[in-house]
Amino acid sequence: MISIWLIPGVILVVLVTATVKRIPAYEVFVEGSKEGLNIAVSLLPFLLGMMVSIAIFQASGAMNAVLSFLTPFTNLIGFPKEVLPLAIVRPISGTAALSMTTEVIRTFGPDSFIGQLASTMQGSTDTTLYIITVYFGAVGIKRMGDALKVGLLADLAGIIASVVIVTLLFS
């Protein structure tokens, strides 16, 4: 698989190029790394805060209540109800979405229509809330402008695109 070669390959190219250009690679590495440590430490409050809120919402059962409330509406437009929870959770929580995808694939089989749809959805959308929290948290952006709206609408576009494309390709 290409991804097994990719990371070692990148490391190789970077280190060889640096050596050819006579750059003190190790010293530069340490210098750049320190910034990584600072970013990680400054991220904790943002990440922890967001994760606690999401955990409360999930553990209380409120998330499931929202999902069962929405099911009749999505049935109306013919959206497969088996993947609805995934579509709603995907922008909020990456780990929850991944475990839902796993559950759907386990229950319906990876090669079923539902399994293909969940797989495609998982691959073509991302955890908007996490990305916004981490990226804006790291640089101290307080006013987010339209970022959240744009991100969530982009997720919606990804979910609709997944349903249409998987329907065309697999059913």
Partner 1 sequence: MVNLIWVFLAVSGILYAAFHGTMGEVNQAIFKTLDDSVMITISLAGVLVFWLGLMKIAEEAGLLNGLARLFRPIVTRIFPEIPKDHPALGYILSNMTANMFGLGNAATPMGLKAMKELKKLSKSDQASRSMITFLAINTSSLTLIPTTVIAIRMKYGSADPTSIVASTILATIISTMAALMIDRYFYYRRKRVSRQ
Binders in 49-78 for partner 1, by CB under 8 A: 49-62, 65
Sign of CA dihedral 118, 125, 68, 166: negative
**Distance, CA of 6 to chain centre:** 21
Choose between 3 and 72: whose C-beta lies nearer to partner 1: 3
Q: Which of 8, 17, 86, 89 binds partner 1 (CB under 8 A)?
A: 17
155 contacts 129 by C-beta, under 8 angstroms: no
Residue numbers 84-143 binding partner 1 by CB under 8 A? 91, 98, 101-102, 105-106, 109-111, 115-116, 119-129, 131-136, 138-143
**Under 8 Å CB-to-CB from 84, ≥6 apart: which residues?**
67, 70, 71, 74
Stretch that binds partner 1, among 37-45, 69-77, 80-88 (CB under 8 A): 37-45
**Under 8 Å CB-to-CB from 41, ≥6 apart: which residues?**
none
d(CA 110, CA 157): 23
In the DSSP assignment, the letter for residue 92 is T
CB of 72 to partner 1, least distance (A): 20
CB of 76 to partner 1, least distance (A): 23
Choose between 31 and 73: whose C-beta lies nearer to partner 1: 31
CB of 79 to partner 1, least distance (A): 15
